[in-house]
């Protein structure tokens, strides 16, 4: 007489469960991270520029998004700086 295993109808269930657990371990930390903050950034010492708003995870990330604009402005206005304030 043959005995049936408890999970005979679902042989892939343990594999599927382990894949779901692995996936949730990878995805949940990403989902729980705080959303980006809003920063108002302005080129100081450059006439005619306006405040620009950017979404970033930190003030450094906000400043990095305007790095090329700051580099360009410094060619004409060497003392130009970038000021970013969290909204």
- Per-residue pLDDT tens digits for 5-47: 555 555 665 665 555 555 555 555 554 455 789 999 999 999 9
H helix or E strand, kind and range, residue 56: strand 52-56
- Characterize 36-63 residue by residue with b for buried, 16 or more Cβ atoms within 10 angstroms of its Cβ, and e for exposed: eeebebbbeebeeeeeeebebeeeeebb
* pLDDT above 60: residue 76: yes
Supply the pLDDT for residue 85.
95
Supply the pLDDT for residue 35.
73
The model's confidence at residue 82, banded by pLDDT at 50, 70 and 90, is very high
pTM listed for this prediction: 0.57
| Six token digits for residue 64 | 């990095």
The model's confidence at residue 70, banded by pLDDT at 50, 70 and 90, is very high
């Amino acid at each position: 007489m043959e005995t049936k295993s408890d999970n005979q109808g679902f042989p892939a269930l343990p594999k599927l469960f382990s894949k779901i657990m692995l996936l949730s371990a990878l995805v949940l930390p990403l989902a729980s991270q705080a959303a980006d903050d809003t920063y108002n950034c302005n080129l100081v010492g450059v006439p005619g520029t306006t405040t620009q708003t950017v979404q970033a995870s930190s003030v450094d990330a906000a400043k990095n998004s305007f790095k090329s604009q700051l580099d360009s402005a410094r060619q004409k206005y060497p003392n130009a700086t970038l000021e970013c304030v969290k909204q």
